[in-house]
Every structure is written in structure tokens, then in C-alpha cells.
Amino acid sequence: MTTNSADWLLRFVRRFLLAAALGFVALRADAAAPVVVIPLSGAIGPASADFVVRSLSRAADEHAQLAVLRIDTPGGLDLSMRAIIQAILASPVPVAAFIAPSGARAASAGTYIVYASHIAAMAPGTNLGAATPIQIGMGGKERAASSPDESTAETRKQVQDAAAYIRGLAQLRGRNEQWAERAVREAVALSANEALAQKVIDLTATDTPDLIAKLDGRHVRTALGERILATRAAPVIALQPDWRSRFLAAITDPSVALILMMIGMYGLFFEFANPGFVLPGVAGAICLLVGLFALQLLPISYVGLGLILLGTGCLIAEMFLPTFGALGIGGIVAFAIGALMLIDTDVPGFGVPIGIVLALAATTALFVFAVSGIALKARKRPVVSGGEAMLGSIGVMLESDGGSGWARVHGERWRVQATGTGGLPGAGERVRVVTRDGLTLTVEPLEDQRQQAA
């Protein structure tokens, strides 16, 4: 063997070993890529959508090989559902929708999310389906039609749109299109075994570790190409909603949003009625802005919001213009009707309970009528300051000189004069103020003194 051949062979061996080492390192790095578990429970709204979207972005930043979306939901708002689906479709990390634990469901909007995910799985004892658009809040409150002929044109349009949407997701993931369309049009549902038999889902698993183990070696096509999962020994990262998600979930509760808005309006009212307190104005402005921010994230009825504002305006007017309850009662009725109409959807978890409405209306009514009662009593009280407060006051004569003299009234020395030709009483006797002219008071002797003199 020549020297050149030996050098060439040595270089070849070195390159081979280097490539093998790099491949081994890459394989180990891919095997060590984590699996991220994202819980999605309760009604799907702005807070849950924000949490899922940010969690999928975090999974991509941490180079996770799989994101498990653990679902247990009765449905949710259409806009929030579509935000989650868009994030799943654009995710470079494969997403496995897992309906768990046993007893959980993925109804309505949850069914769409399962169809959009790269992998669909269910735990025993779970179900999915009932994906009609009336239930996911696509168009607000709709009346239930007793026959197809009674359905409104708007309802038919929503059903057609929802059916086309879920059919497109089924075609994208290679799942059962016919059943998906029936779930929209007929509100049918399936158990875990039935869904697996009809190719609605890909597999069943008892829990999350079992699912992760079963997905080892599976080929998944994502937005960036095909991926091969190596999940058997992968570390698992369980994400939980942070303070931002919890805060957003709290304020987007329709009852909380309504209460915040009411606190805000009354806080500003107190500040305007009593300038200088500062705290009611600052707290009211913050509550009002937070409440309005929450309402703009929710499907609200502007008629309901207008009735709430009208009712509140009438209640405030009752404080300044006591109308024997006319404005107050009208305001309470308008507020109650507006609060019941405020949220324009029948989605579970996104309504204002009638108990909250009655409690707010009753509390506001008691407050308004209490303030109005105090105002009426204040009007009947005598004047205690200013020039009018001197009229009818009792004073004691200090000295008199015929028709004029000096008297002490309210602890002050005043110039006084008699009302007529009768003159003023002597020093030490009491007089009543009749009129006031600048710094001179017109007085008359008290009647009881005249009787005693007689």
C-alpha cells in the first residue's frame, strides 16, 4: 500500500468516526428533548386560549419533541377555539390531544381541537362530540328549532361554516370526515372505544405516561416537516397556568367583569360628587378599565350593556333628584334586564347567574334609596350656616336705646333694631331675629316675655 493510499484511508476513517459521533450526539439530544404537558380544562375562553398559545410557543422555544394537550372541556367560545387551533396548525412541535382523565370529555369546541391536533388520543371512560355551532357560541344565543324548516338562515349558515371547518381539519389529519360532519349537524358523540373503531382518534391510553410510552417511534408531520418521536425516556414538563392566565381567567368571568364595571362607575361617581377623596376615583377608574377590557374579550350584547348603563344612570339621578322611587325602580329594572342580556352566548360557564344579578340589583337599590332618604331628610333640616341661619334665632339684649341697641346672638355682638314703634326690651331680655340687613338685625321681643310682663 502506498503512502497516499494510507493517508486517504486514515482521513476516511477519521471522517467516518466524526460523522458517527455527531450522529450519536444528535440522537442523544433528540432523545433527551422534553415532552410538554399542557392542561386544558373547563370552558374554553380568552384565558385558556392565551395559556395554550403561549405554552405551545414555549414548547417550541425549549425544542420539545411533543406537546400533550390534556383536555377536559364542555366547549367554549368560537374565537378562543380558533386561536388554539391556529396555534396547533402552525406549531413546529407535534401536538397530541389527549382527552383525560377517565370521565373527562371534549365536547363542542374540544372536538374541533382534537381533530386539529397531530395525534388524537382518549382515556377509557371519556367521550367527545356534540359540536354544533349553537353550543360553541359562534353566533350568540339561538332559539332551538323544532324542525329543520324552522331554523333561521343565520343558524344554517353557521352550521354550514362549522361543518366545512371540521371537515377540513379531518382531511388534514386523515380522520373520519363523515362522523365529524355528523357531530356538527346532528350533535352526536362517541366513547373512547367507539372513536377508535371509527378512526376518529389514533389510539387510547390509560394516562399521560402510558400515552407518552405508546407514542415512542411514531412518525408525525408538522409545519416544519416530518418528525420521529423518541418519547420513551424523555423528560416530562408539566405546565400550569401562571399569574397572567389566572388573572385573565378571573376577570373574564362575566360575573366578575360586571361587578368590576359597577364598582368602577360608582367609584367615579363618588369622586365627582366629593372631589378630593382621590381613592374612590383611582380605584373606580382602575376597576372600570379592567372590567371594560374583560368585556371586550367576551361575546357581549351591546343592547344589554346599554341597558346596564341606562339603569346605572337612572339610579345615580335618583340620588340627586329624588322622584319618590320612579327613577330608582326604572333603573333597577333596566339594570337587571341588561345584566341578564349582557353575555350573548349559551356556552356553559359564560353566563351571568341570575343570583348575581339579583344581588347586585338589590344592593344597588338599598344603597340608592338610603342615600335618597338621607338627602330628603337633609332638605327638611333647618339651615345652620349663612345669613338665613340667623332668621328665627334667639338672642339676649345687651343694651337698648329706644328703637336700636346691641344684642348677643349665636355668641356674637350684633347691632339690632326694633320691628315697629314698640321699641326694644331692656338688657338681659331675650329677642327673636326677624330679618337681617347687612350687619344689622331686626328683632322682636319673645311672646312669653310679653305675656309675663302683662
pLDDT at res. 325: 65
Calculate mean pLDDT across residues 240-260.
89
Q: What is the pTM of this model?
A: 0.70
- d(C-alpha 224, C-alpha 245), whole Å: 28
pLDDT at res. 13: 60
Tell me whether strands 35-41 and 236-238 are parallel, antiparallel or unpaired: parallel
- Residue 115, C-alpha cell as written in the block: 381533530
- Residue 253, C-alpha cell as written in the block: 368571568
Calculate mean pLDDT across residues 189-218.
94
pLDDT higher than threshold 70 for residue 28 = no
Backbone angles phi and psi of 74, in degrees to 5: -85, -5
Q: Residues 205, 98: contact at Cβ < 8 Å?
A: yes
352 — pLDDT class (breaks 50, 70, 90): confident
Q: What is the mean pLDDT of the chain?
A: 82
pLDDT at res. 188: 92
146 — pLDDT class (breaks 50, 70, 90): very low
- Looking at mean pLDDT, say which of 44-48, 334-338, 358-362, 447-451 comes out highest: 44-48
Q: Residues 338, 308: contact at Cβ < 8 Å?
A: yes
Dump pLDDT digits (tens) for 267-311: 887 777 777 778 888 998 999 899 989 888 888 888 888 888 888
Higher pLDDT, 381 or 59: 59
Dump pLDDT digits (tens) for 225-235: 888 999 988 99
pLDDT higher than threshold 70 for residue 150 = no
pLDDT at res. 94: 95
pLDDT at res. 19: 60
By mean pLDDT, which of 296-300, 417-421, 447-451 is the weakest? 447-451
- d(C-alpha 445, C-alpha 376), whole Å: 34
pLDDT higher than threshold 70 for residue 77 = yes
- Looking at mean pLDDT, say which of 192-201, 350-359, 419-428 comes out highest: 192-201
pLDDT higher than threshold 60 for residue 12 = yes
pLDDT at res. 144: 39
380 — pLDDT class (breaks 50, 70, 90): low
Calculate mean pLDDT across residues 437-454.
70
pLDDT at res. 142: 38
Per-domain boundaries in the chain: 31-244, 252-380, 387-453
149 — pLDDT class (breaks 50, 70, 90): very low
| CATH class for the region spanning 31-244 | alpha beta
pLDDT at res. 83: 94
pLDDT higher than threshold 80 for residue 41 = yes
pLDDT at res. 376: 61
In CATH terms, the fold of domain 387-453 is: OB fold (Dihydrolipoamide Acetyltransferase, E2P) (2.40.50)
pLDDT higher than threshold 80 for residue 92 = yes
177 — pLDDT class (breaks 50, 70, 90): very high
Torsion angle in degrees (nearest 10) through CA of 171, 110, 130, 116: 0
370 — pLDDT class (breaks 50, 70, 90): confident
Q: According to the 3-state scheme, what is the secondary structure of the chain? A: CCHHHHHHHHHHHHHHHHHHHHHHHHHHHHHCCCEEEEEEECCECHHHHHHHHHHHHHHHHCCCCEEEEEEEECCECHHHHHHHHHHHHHCCCCEEEEECCCCCEEECHHHHHHHHCCEEEECCCCEEECCCCCCCCCCCCCCCCCCHHHCCHHHHHHHHHHHHHHHHHHHHHCCCHHHHHHHHHCCCEEEHHHHHHCCCCCEECCCHHHHHHHCCCCEEEECCEEEECCCCCCCEEECCCCHHHHHHHHHCCHHHHHHHHHHHHHHHHHHHHCCCCCHHHHHHHHHHHHHHHHHHHCCECHHHHHHHHHHHHHHHHHHHCCCCCHHHHHHHHHHHHHHHHCECCCCCCCCCCHHHHHHHHHHHHHHHHHHHHHHHHHHHCCCCCCHHHHCCCEEEEEEEECCEEEEEECCEEEEEEECCCCCCCCCCCEEEEEEEECCEEEEEECHHHHHHHC
- d(C-alpha 189, C-alpha 388), whole Å: 80
By mean pLDDT, which of 181-185, 270-274, 321-325, 439-443 is the weakest? 321-325
17 — pLDDT class (breaks 50, 70, 90): low
pLDDT at res. 317: 77
